[in-house]
């Protein structure tokens, strides 16, 4: 996205003169915010308003493993009750609210002197690891594919966007980014087998972390032959945080050939809005009646893919000169998935009443935990 590009931003006006954007061609990024009723929203939040996913979540909360841990861990969570009172009901305090409690205490540890003084660092770390465990188990289970529907929707979307560059259906599309919550991203990690590349992918990402897919070609080459894709992850926004690269789908290299990547992503991805509606058994307006989702596929198993009719992305058209060389290859297309920055539609409808803050976990927890 740097340096500025007059070529990419140049426009010819009606009187024949040409103008570029301010700051010598600074490339402004278009931001699209969608309501939760828009079909495009499933591309980054496919686990929401999805009865099939809700049932899979409820099965987890009813499992003997979860119930055993809930009983075993209750004394640990009870000691935080004085700090949680007024924000969590008594029935919400426990392993069933592992993420919400960790999130509240973790933020308070930074901004609230009472929490900082009353919570030992070891206990904060324990809250984090328990939230890690529950969040991953809730969103990825190899024997319960429906738990990962949010990740499946992301997979289809990532493949579709990268293919727009491969097929050259959009010659200006160089960067696409999505902003959403951690739960579908963790499901996506599990589906890609990233937990086999690093055990850290079984834990929660730090706030505002970024998953990045780079479409690359060998240095010195042109065109769209010999393409590969690599996956990078930056955990949080600290100055010391860097993008680290990991092999996908147990491949033996971080650079995965495009054809192999396409095959693997197609196998785990939801191919269209209509497919998501059918898998989720959803009653959203765009899934039924006159609003029924299109049956056209956005990520078939092979070949080129048409652009989806709906979008939850923001993109910037960059000039070819702005696509810089990285490592042993040249990056010609990038997709970034950022956790927890500006998914306003996601959080605004999920704020707790009273003095509670916005929560990021699915609203399909057992009834005793209340609704998010």
Q: How confident is the model at residue 226 (pLDDT cuts 50, 70, 90)?
A: confident
| Mean predicted confidence (pLDDT) in 135-139 | 94
Residues 6 or more apart in contact with residue 318 via CB below 8 angstroms: 1, 5, 8, 27, 172, 174, 175
* pLDDT given for residue 338 in this prediction: 63
Give me 321's structure tokens.
Answer: 């000169």
| Chain segment 169-195, per-residue pLDDT in tens | 877 777 888 888 889 999 999 999 999
**Pairing mode of beta strands 228-234, 256-257:** antiparallel
Kindly state the helix (H) or strand (E) to which residue 315 belongs, with its residue range: strand 314-317
Q: Do the beta carbons of residue 43 and residue 308 sit within 8 Å?
A: yes
| Chain segment 242-289, per-residue pLDDT in tens | 899 999 999 999 999 999 999 999 999 998 888 999 999 988 888 876
Rounded Cα distance, 219 and 169, in Å: 23
Which region among 72-76, 86-90, 137-141, 337-341 has the lowest average model confidence (pLDDT)?
Answer: 337-341
Residues 6 or more apart in contact with residue 17 via CB below 8 angstroms: none
Rounded Cα distance, 247 and 310, in Å: 30
Give me 102's structure tokens.
Answer: 């960790």
Rounded to two decimals, what is the model's pTM?
0.74
* pLDDT given for residue 301 in this prediction: 30
Give me 84's structure tokens.
Answer: 């949680």
Residues 6 or more apart in contact with residue 174 via CB below 8 angstroms: 165, 316, 317, 318, 322, 323, 332, 333, 334
DSSP code of residue 91: G
Average pLDDT over all residues of the chain:
77
Rounded Cα distance, 99 and 361, in Å: 7
**Burial (0-12, 13-18, 19+ Cβ within 10 Å), 207:** middle
**Pairing mode of beta strands 173-180, 329-339:** parallel
| Mean predicted confidence (pLDDT) in 92-110 | 94
Q: How far is CA 15 from CA 9, 18, 19, in A?
A: 18, 9, 11
Q: Locate the domains of the chain by residue range.
A: 29-52+144-346, 56-142+348-369
Q: Do the beta carbons of residue 350 and residue 48 sit within 8 Å?
A: no
């Amino acid at each position: 996205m740097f340096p500025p590009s007059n070529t990419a931003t140049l426009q010819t006006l009606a009187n024949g003169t040409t103008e570029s954007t301010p700051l010598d061609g600074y490339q402004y990024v278009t931001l699209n915010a969608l309501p939760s009723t828009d079909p495009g929203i499933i591309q980054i939040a496919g686990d929401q308003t999805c009865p099939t996913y809700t049932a899979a979540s409820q099965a987890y909360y009813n499992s003997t493993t979860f119930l055993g841990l809930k009983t075993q861990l209750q004394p640990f969570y009870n000691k935080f009750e004085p700090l949680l009172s007024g924000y969590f009901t008594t029935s919400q305090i426990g392993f069933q609210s592992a993420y919400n409690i960790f999130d509240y205490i973790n933020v308070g540890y930074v901004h609230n002197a009472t929490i900082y003084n009353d919570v030992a660092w070891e206990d904060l770390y324990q809250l984090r690891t328990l939230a890690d465990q529950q969040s991953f188990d809730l969103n990825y289970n190899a024997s319960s594919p429906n738990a990962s529907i949010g990740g499946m929707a992301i997979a289809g979307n990532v493949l579709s966007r990268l293919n727009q560059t491969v097929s050259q259906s959009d010659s200006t599309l160089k960067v696409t980014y999505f902003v959403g919550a951690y739960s579908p991203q963790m499901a996506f990690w599990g589906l890609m087998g990233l937990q086999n590349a690093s055990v850290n992918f079984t834990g929660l990402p730090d706030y505002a972390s970024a998953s990045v897919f780079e479409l690359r070609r060998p240095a010195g080459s042109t065109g769209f032959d010999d393409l590969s894709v690599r996956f990078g992850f930056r955990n949080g926004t600290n100055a010391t945080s860097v993008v680290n690269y990991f092999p996908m789908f147990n491949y033996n290299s971080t650079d995965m050939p495009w054809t192999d990547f396409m095959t693997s992503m197609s196998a785990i991805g939801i191919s269209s809005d209509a497919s998501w509606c059918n898998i989720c058994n959803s009653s959203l307006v765009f899934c039924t009646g006159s609003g029924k989702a299109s049956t056209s596929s956005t990520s078939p198993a092979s070949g080129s893919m048409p652009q989806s009719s709906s979008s939850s992305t923001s993109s910037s058209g960059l000039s070819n000169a702005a696509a810089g060389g990285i490592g042993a290859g040249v990056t010609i297309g990038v997709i970034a998935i950022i956790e927890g920055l500006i998914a306003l539609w996601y959080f605004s409808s999920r704020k707790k009443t009273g003095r509670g803050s916005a929560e990021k976990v699915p609203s399909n927890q057992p009834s005793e935990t209340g609704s998010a």
